[in-house]
Amino acid sequence: MLTTSLYFIVFGSAMGGRMMEVGGVSYGAFIVPGLVMLSILTESVSNASFGIYMPRWAGTIYELLSAPVSAIEAVAGYVGAAATKSLVIGLVTLATARLFVDYEIQHPLWALAFLVLTCVSFCLLGFLIGVLADSFERLQIVPVMVIMPLTFLGGTFYSLSMLPEFWQKVILFNPIVYLISGFRWSFYGVADVDVGISIAAIIGFLVVCFLAVWWIFKTGYRLKN
């Protein structure tokens, strides 16, 4: 919440006054979906990775491994808990933003769907990181070195159309572009990339992460020695 407020004070107020509207939306309102995404992406990855890394590190994972719980149930439990937390954080961020700028949500159900899908798939990703990491430092690498920069570069604070043509192409390799663009579309009906592609991208990402996590529980890779 504090970070969200800071972002608004710095970007929304300071720059928003000077900057033009983006695609018919005030700059303050324009950055809301991106900021929400930024917070849930980082929260999802770090909560979920921490959530599974801790019991591995402390050894308490033995109980889960010896419990009459299927792989799917274990994933649902860990990822569900982390995703719920990020979803709440996302909603709180949205509410905080409302204190600073007026924004409308044109397609609230789609907005919710994007939020939930993002929380779940990035919690799965976080879970994977937590299983693969072998130190607390490694645990931090992906959220800090990958997710944060990709989110910043993925159109949180600008529309792709503001970039030179060459970079508009390059940036399409950044998967987070699709998330932010789709989410922003559900607010204002404007998007950098087609919404269908956004949805397909996020569902594809979710499926890949889910299969990887399921395989880990099934085989005990890195969980059982």
Partner 1 sequence: MQPIISIRNVSKTYKGGFTALKSVDLEINRGEIFALLGPNGAGKTTLISIICGIVNPSGGEIIADGHNILTEQRLARKKIGLVPQELHTDAFERVIDTVRFSRGLFGFPRDEAKIEEILRKLSLWEKRNEKIMALSGGMKRRVMIAKALAHEPKILFLDEPSAGVDVELRRDMWEMVRALRESGVTIILTTHYIEEAEEMADRVGVISKGELVLVDEKNSLMKKLGKKQLTLDLQTPLAAIPAGLGDYALELADEGRKLIYSFDTQADDTGIAMLLRRLNEQGVDFKDLNTEQSSLEDIFVSLVSARP
Half-sphere exposure of 7 (CA within 13 A, CB side): 25
Q: Rounded CA gap, 12 and 8, in Å?
A: 4
Q: Is 69 in a helix, a strand, or coil? A: coil
* Member of 1, 9, 15, 67 binding partner 1 (CB under 8 A): 67
Among 3, 60, 106, 135, binds partner 1 (CB under 8 A): 60
State the minimum distance, in angstroms, from the CB of residue 117 to partner 1: 28
Residue placing its CB nearer to partner 1 in the complex, 17 or 77 = 77
* Contact between residue 89 and residue 169 where contact means Cβ atoms under 8 Å apart: no
User: Binding of partner 1 at residue 164 (CB under 8 A)?
Assistant: no
Counting residues that bind partner 1 (by CB under 8 A) gives 17
Report yes or no: 97 and 103 within 8 Å, Cβ to Cβ.
yes
Q: Is 13 an interacting residue with respect to partner 1 (CB under 8 A)?
A: no
Identify whether the C-beta of residue 32 lies closer than 8 Å to the C-beta of residue 183.
Answer: no
Residue 58: CB minimum distance to partner 1, A: 6
Residues at the contact surface with partner 1, assessed by CB under 8 A: 55, 58-60, 62-70, 219-220, 224-225
